[in-house]
Structure 1
Amino acid sequence: MNYTDFLKMIPEAVLTAILVITFICDFASARQTERKWMNPLVSVMFAALTVVCLLPMAPVHAFGDMYVTSSAVNVIKAILAFGSLIVVLQSRSWAEASGKEGEFYMLLTSTLLGMFVMVSAGNFLMFFLGLEMASVPLATMVAFDMKRNESAEGAAKFILTATFSSGVMLYGISFIYGACGTLYFDDVRHTLMTVIASGDLTKVFLPVMGLVFFFSGLGFKISLVPFHFWTADTYQGAPTTVTGYLSVISKGAAAFTLLSILFNVFTPMDRYWHVLLMIVVVLSITVANLFAIRQGELKRFMAFSSISQAGYIMLAAIGDKWPTSVSALSYYILVYVVANMAVFSIISVVEQNNGGKTDIDDYNGFYQTNPKLSFLMTLAMFSLGGIPPFAGMFSKFFVFMAGVDGSDIHTTMGAWSYAVVFIALLNTVISLYYYLKIVKAMYIKHNDNPLPTFNSDNNTKFALALCTTGILLFGICSYVYDWISMAA
């Protein structure tokens, strides 16, 4: 092994340094009063990580092509680091109140390190290692609030489904290895070209089954329908800060990895996975929208919203052009991060000051006592619904364009691509109904005893300022998408 290859993993090296520094500082701080500077320190380190990921980096191949990175991968790492920074900022009050602030930041850093390894994998075993490095600390974060039974229940369901999905995924990887004799992405792609070209059904069967099982396993991580059943209970049971992290950072990393593997490994089998992906996207968007309408609890409501958003994210993969698809998906994740984290930041503030209540009815008349938070929540809901001129409208437009890019409407697959995008467009109208239901509760529904006025801490205010700036400017400032597009 060439140990100098570790020096090529700059973002991972920075994350490892953050993890070690956080551990030492937490270990050296004997009293809770000595940890008041922990959140500012971790916030500065995550801001530095974001800057490092934004720096131009040459493509890297390390450890015999098991670790591969490129400008597109660095973009998604920067987005994940930026989203994690927002999570750290808005978690200060809750983390300090828990008494386990250092442990929380170490778990968050560990799971982000696993995601970085996962998106840079050039080998199926390296990918699986990164996935499990992310999943295990994430399960611990879901169960972080030991005083609540719902937290333990949500963690149990997350661990069980993660275990089953990992088993299904490994089963699929074994099929791929049996068909190709290798686990390196480039070698698998070249072997699949030969196998598919042969037309021998006995040889095609193994990789097709491997693709189906692999897709199913990763579908659990992204919570695509019909692999979504754990999502609502886990989101409701987990601490709100962790729920926000689950809904955007974890989902974004898994979605980018799935897109990358479909395009770069299973390219010779595109006619198989295109059909599979179309079915799953339509089911995810439609089923989640219908169930979101029925929800009366805000975190469960956002869970079904995130399932629908996962369908929109993967809509970008239906197109035939890698640059367009990866640009649209990365941009959608960036916009989704700022909009969704704004919502969960407000939910966290209300929850901490309202006895842990998160029912939608609790927000009736919210504007009377908290006009600023109501306004920011409205902006976030408008962006999630795709209402112009907010960034969410532009992100949906780009994934719609990516979904049909390179598709010929006169061919069968091209016609189906246009049909899927049309169904997604119709579902956008449905989603407006339930997103505006929150706005209606805050501004229109009367409440004789509305929630009291809340004062959030400065960190949360800064996190909300970052999110609001992103919602307002990421769509209008075209250089944001141009930068992502050039990297792709």
Structure 2
Amino acid sequence: MNIDYSQFLNMIPEVTLMAALMIVFITDLFTAKKPGEARNRNWFNPLVCVLMLAHIFINIWPTEASTAFGGMYMTNGSVGVIKTILAFSVLIVFVQSREWLQREDTNFKEGEFYELVLATLLGMNMMVSANHFLLFFLGLEMASVPMACLVAFDKYRHNSAEAGAKFILTATFSSGVMLYGISFLYAATGTLYFDDVMANISATPLCILGMVFFFSGLGFKISLVPFHFWTADTYQGAPTTVTGYLSVTSKGAAAFALCAILMKVFAPIVEYWQIMLMVVIVLSITIGNLFAIHQKDLKRFMAFSSISQAGYIMLAVVGNSAMSVTALSYYVLIYVVANLAVFSIIAAVEENNGGVVNMNAYNGFYKTNPRLAFLLTLALFSLGGIPPFAGMFSKFFVFMAAANGAQVTTAIGATIYAVVFIALVNTVISLYYYLLIVKAMFISDNENPLPTFKSSYSTKMALAICTLGVVAFGVCSIVYNWIHAASVM
């Protein structure tokens, strides 16, 4: 059997990512700290960040559409953009993780953290490039299994082991449900290639049931209601850096994959999945917002915020047009910088104040740490969609994509406008609970506020990148134009 190795030239993002993973693995293997040895590897984190930066620069330019391995692997401009956005989020996570990984109980497994994150990113890349349900499922599991290890990374602190157990158990069930749906689709169409499934699919009970089960499996990965029950416990128990990574990178990859499959594979039965998606969006946005209001733990607070944000991300898909892909990718990019800014500050406060994550502890935070309070406010304003920050533009484009082409005179068009209106109303609710944190920092009194502390250089660097994105990505049209140009290639 002859293998055409030139096909790997169509997989440059995966090749460079695999090269980075091997370099990190070999470096860690020969420089790892031995028991009882006082070895300091201050250079390790910068090395990993440089490798990640090189990976981004090599793959930042959108490529022409191409395939590999019998059409099972597919790439195009929009796929290249989402891979770059995911790699960018991983770079920020690596930068902000340095202080946490230098802690006494984690520094000996620093290499394992980088390797697990790169392994999950490799799985996500395969998932978004899949043109075959089998390759898609393999990519999904390549991302999910290392992610469970990351969630349980601090197994002796903060219920991390419990969070990992809950994540892997629910992930197992969701994967089983998804495979069950894929088997229905194969029985109905006789193929697992996306193009061939689209050509043979029809509105039969078997196809519709397969679509529902497949959607349910991916709904778990995106934390859509009613598949969200694992989210709050897992976010609370996982290390804060891992929580931030889980909330943006994993969610963004799964959302893009679901968008592509719904619009491509299930295009012939669009009237069925549109209704289902709209119901799930309304539930996710509303329930996420209402439950977030009552949270006192900031990580649980951000968990329910992420459930609501997942609804907004998927709102773009309702429009079922090229604008949907652009709006979704742009929203994920803005969500990455805003959400990781919040988690960078939560992690900094946690590391310097004995694991504090309670919202009441932030009362009077502005008096002792005004810069962090100001940056946290900017990030929260962006998440809430307050102008002129980037989050306002991302929500605007999502609303536009959802309503694009909808006719209010038709039943489906009127329903789409109703969903957009409900999402708009929920934006006001989200502003309320985001402002609860701002109120705690700037208005609420506290006799014993958090002490003044100096953030590490890595935290400052991560916050600088995120804040620049929150402020600039909305007003610099080149970012949106880059995503749009790739989507229409």
What is the 5 A alignment of 1:134-283?
Answer: 134-148=143-157, 150-192=159-201, 195-196=202-203, 204-283=204-283
Between the aligned partners of 1:345 and 1:30, the Cα distance in structure 2 is: 27
Between the aligned partners of 1:460 and 1:45, the Cα distance in structure 2 is: 19
Between the aligned partners of 1:412 and 1:390, the Cα distance in structure 2 is: 35
Which residue does 1:110 correspond to in 2? 119
Between the aligned partners of 1:275 and 1:2, the Cα distance in structure 2 is: 44
Number of residue equivalences: 478
Between the aligned partners of 2:28 and 2:153, the Cα distance in structure 1 is: 17
Which residue does 1:477 correspond to in 2? 476
User: 3-state DSSP class of the match of 1:474?
Assistant: helix
What is the 5 A alignment of 1:72-471?
Answer: 72-97=78-103, 98-99=106-107, 100-148=109-157, 150-192=159-201, 195-196=202-203, 204-321=204-321, 323-471=322-470
C-alpha deviation, 1:57, in angstroms: 1.8
C-alpha deviation, 1:149, in angstroms: 5.5
User: 3-state DSSP class of the match of 2:67?
Assistant: strand
User: Are positions 1:47 and 2:49 aligned together?
Assistant: no
- Alpha carbons 1:320, 1:407 under 8 Å: kept: no
- Alpha carbons 2:62, 2:81 under 8 Å: kept: no
User: Are positions 1:35 and 2:41 aligned together?
Assistant: yes
User: Are positions 1:61 and 2:67 aligned together?
Assistant: yes
Q: Answer with 457-466 or 416-425: which moved more.
A: 457-466
RMSD value over aligned CA atoms?
0.9
Q: What TM-score do you get using the length of structure 1 for normalisation?
A: 0.97
Which residue does 2:23 correspond to in 1? 21
C-alpha deviation, 1:34, in angstroms: 4.2
Q: Deviations over 1:35-92 (max 9, x none)?
A: 2111000001111111122124221200011000000000000100001000000000
- Alpha carbons 2:62, 2:76 under 8 Å: kept: no
Q: Answer with 284-293 or 23-32: which moved more.
A: 23-32
Between the aligned partners of 1:209 and 1:328, the Cα distance in structure 2 is: 29
| Percent of residue pairs identical | 66
Q: Which amino acid aligns with 1:76?
A: I
- Alpha carbons 1:180, 1:188 under 8 Å: kept: yes
Between the aligned partners of 1:96 and 1:107, the Cα distance in structure 2 is: 17
Q: Which amino acid aligns with 2:378?
A: L
- Alpha carbons 1:240, 1:348 under 8 Å: kept: yes
Which residue does 2:14 correspond to in 1? 12
Between the aligned partners of 2:468 and 2:401, the Cα distance in structure 1 is: 25
Q: Deviations over 1:7-45 (max 9, x none)?
A: 321010111111110011111114363421110000011
User: 3-state DSSP class of the match of 1:58?
Assistant: coil
- Alpha carbons 1:124, 1:183 under 8 Å: kept: yes
C-alpha deviation, 1:146, in angstroms: 1.8
Between the aligned partners of 2:148 and 2:141, the Cα distance in structure 1 is: 10
User: Structure 2: which 5+ residue stretches go unaligned?
Assistant: none
Between the aligned partners of 2:229 and 2:58, the Cα distance in structure 1 is: 37
- Alpha carbons 1:26, 1:35 under 8 Å: kept: no
Residue 186 and residue 481 in structure 1: after superposition, are their counterparts in 2 closer, same or farther (change >3 A)? same
User: 3-state DSSP class of the match of 2:279?
Assistant: helix
Q: Deviations over 1:409-464 (max 9, x none)?
A: 11000000000000000000000000000000000001111111121111211110
User: 3-state DSSP class of the match of 1:447?
Assistant: coil
User: 3-state DSSP class of the match of 1:349?
Assistant: helix
User: 3-state DSSP class of the match of 2:154?
Assistant: coil
User: 3-state DSSP class of the match of 1:226?
Assistant: coil
Between the aligned partners of 2:92 and 2:52, the Cα distance in structure 1 is: 9
Q: Which amino acid aligns with 1:240?
A: T
Q: What TM-score do you get using the length of structure 2 for normalisation?
A: 0.97
C-alpha deviation, 1:268, in angstroms: 0.2
